[in-house]
Amino acid sequence: MRVATIKTIFPALLAILITSSCTNPMKLVERGRFDDAVSLSVRKLSGKKKKKTKYVKALEEAFARVTHTDMREIKVLEKEGRDENWVKINNIHQRISRRQQLIEPLLPLYSKDGYKADFKFVKVEDLELESKEKAAEFYYKEGKRLMTIAERGDKPAARSAYDNFEKIKRYYKNYKDEDRLMNRAQELGTVYVLFSMENDARVVLPKDFEQEIKRISVRDLDRNWRTVHLNPEKGLSYDYTVRMRLTDIDVSPEMVKEREYVDDKTIEDGFEYVLDKNGNVAKDSSGNDIKVPKKVLIKARVFETYQRKAAHVGGILEFYDNREREIIYTDPIAVDAIFENYAATFDGDRRALTEESKRKIGNRPVPFPTSEHLILQAADLLKPVVKDKIARSRIMI
């Protein structure tokens, strides 16, 4: 019982201590969480006519210590002399600026006991402008350096260059020729994929087959850094080719099957009297004749005609690296375009027909589709299969 009590009480006490420290600015200062102490103190003081001295002093101390820490970090970064440090320096300048803007509405700050807080603000505007310019210049130079590598065919370098130019947008909407360079980096970093088709089956395809396949919408196949084309563009060098090789095309013979079967069902049809042991009509307690439903078996003979014809189209998707001149991945593809038709008549009691039989009754045999029509239908079924396999492939990015 004692152990259970300790286990129950300890977490509660810990939660109380944590909550207490998070609502006490001085505790936050002691823990080195100066910015948290500043934010909490400002919330405690904002809108209060009688401002508590402990919160005023906590804000004063937290602000002084965090400003000292930030300025010391800036000096260290500047002494290192590394261009990339200007990004960190600008972040610190922005932090100082936001903190001073947070406190400014409270100035001059007096507690209810007459204590006046002293805040030494940093004249950060010019410093921030300088570090902003140098941070942007760092990303610009780094992007230009990577572009030199990208122009030699290094796509990852082009993408890194793009990222660097994009980061300049944090500082300036328009900076030198950054937009032109971003467009060029996008072009150099993009993988271009060409889709093509080859018929290796010993069957002549309908003339519209390839046209039907290439009606795939490729817009949603394009991702960041990948563009898929169905037809080659003049002057464009393709990194990969997705080649659809058809190896198996088969159309089944026209099949007609006829069968005859019987549907039956037991239904209630009128009633009949219950007889007693003497052969007389039995009576209930009220003297009425006892009747029960009369059940009869009804039947319907169904004459069914079933038609079927199918086209099978199969093959392989080959992912070909044009630079290395090798197949890097293959994926099988196959679809079946099936024509089916049921037609039926019946003889007997319609009420005996099952729901399935009812759907067939009244249908008539129809002309079979041509083999060309079924193969084109298979082409239509192939499109989403091919599209999905290209979309799922991550090797071409």
Instruction: Give residue-wise pLDDT tens across range 94-137.
Output: 999 999 999 999 999 999 999 999 999 999 999 999 999 999 99
pLDDT at residue 1 tops 60? no
pLDDT, greater one: 20 or 391: 391
* pLDDT attached to residue 2: 54
Q: pLDDT tier at 7 (50, 70, 90 boundaries)?
A: low
CA angle 31, 25, 38 (to 5 degrees): 95
Whether the predicted model's global pTM rises above the 0.85 cut: no
Question: CB count, 10 Å around CB of 96?
Answer: 20
Please give the radius of gyration of the chain, using alpha carbons only, rounded to the nearest integer: 41
CB atoms within 10 A of CB 342: 16
Q: What is the mean pLDDT of residues 334-350?
A: 94
Averaged over 195-219, what is the pLDDT?
Answer: 89
pLDDT (0 to 100) of residue 293? 85
Residue 16's pLDDT band (cuts 50, 70, 90): very low
Looking at the chain, list the stretches that DSSP marks H as alpha helix, in order from N- to C-terminal side.
Answer: 2-22, 25-30, 34-45, 53-80, 85-103, 124-150, 155-167, 178-189, 209-213, 355-360, 371-392
Q: With 50 as the cut, is the pLDDT of residue 18 above it?
A: no
Tens of pLDDT, residues 369-380 = 999 999 999 999
220 vs 167: which has the higher pLDDT = 167
Cα separation of 85 and 74, whole Å? 9
Q: How confident is the model at residue 113, as a pLDDT?
A: 93
Residue 334 above 50 pLDDT?
Answer: yes
**Amino acid found at 61:** E
Q: Which residues pair with 336 in a beta bridge?
A: 312
Q: How far apart are CA 78 and CA 60, in angstroms?
A: 27
* Per-residue pLDDT reduced to its tens digit, 61-105: 999 999 999 999 999 999 999 999 999 999 999 999 999 999 999
In the predicted model, is pLDDT for residue 241 greater than 50?
yes
Rounded Cα gap, residues 208 and 47, in angstroms = 76
pLDDT for position 8: 55
Domains and CATH numbers, the chain: 17-122 (no CATH), 139-189 (no CATH), 190-268+298-397 (3.30.160)
What DSSP element (H or E) covers 264? strand 255-273
Show Cβ contacts of residue 378 under 8 Å, excluding neighbours closer than 6 positions. Answer: 311, 312, 313, 335, 336, 337
Counting residues of the chain whose pLDDT is more than 90, the rounded percentage is 75
pLDDT recorded at residue 280: 81
Confidence of residue 362 (pLDDT cuts 50, 70, 90): confident
Q: Average pLDDT of the chain?
A: 90
Percent of the residues in the chain that have a pLDDT greater than 70, as a whole number: 94
- Backbone torsion region of residue 314, taken as left when φ is above 0, otherwise alpha when ψ lies between -120 and 50, otherwise beta: beta
Residue 357 to residues 230, 259, 264, Cα–Cα distance (Å) = 47, 13, 11
**CA atoms of 393 and 153, how far apart (whole Å):** 22
Taking alpha carbons only, the member of 112, 161, 107 closest to residue 139 is 161
Whether 244 contacts 213, CB under 8 Å: yes
Give the whole-angstrom CA distance, residue 80 versus residue 96: 21
Close Cβ partners of 348 (under 8 Å, ≥ 6 residues apart):
298, 299, 300, 301
Digit-coded pLDDT (tens) for 272-319: 888 888 878 788 888 788 888 888 899 999 999 999 999 999 999 999
For residue 29, is pLDDT > 50? yes
pLDDT of residue 5: 54
Give the list of residues 6+ apart from residue 77 with CB closer than 8 angstroms, or none.
85, 88, 89
pLDDT at residue number 278: 80
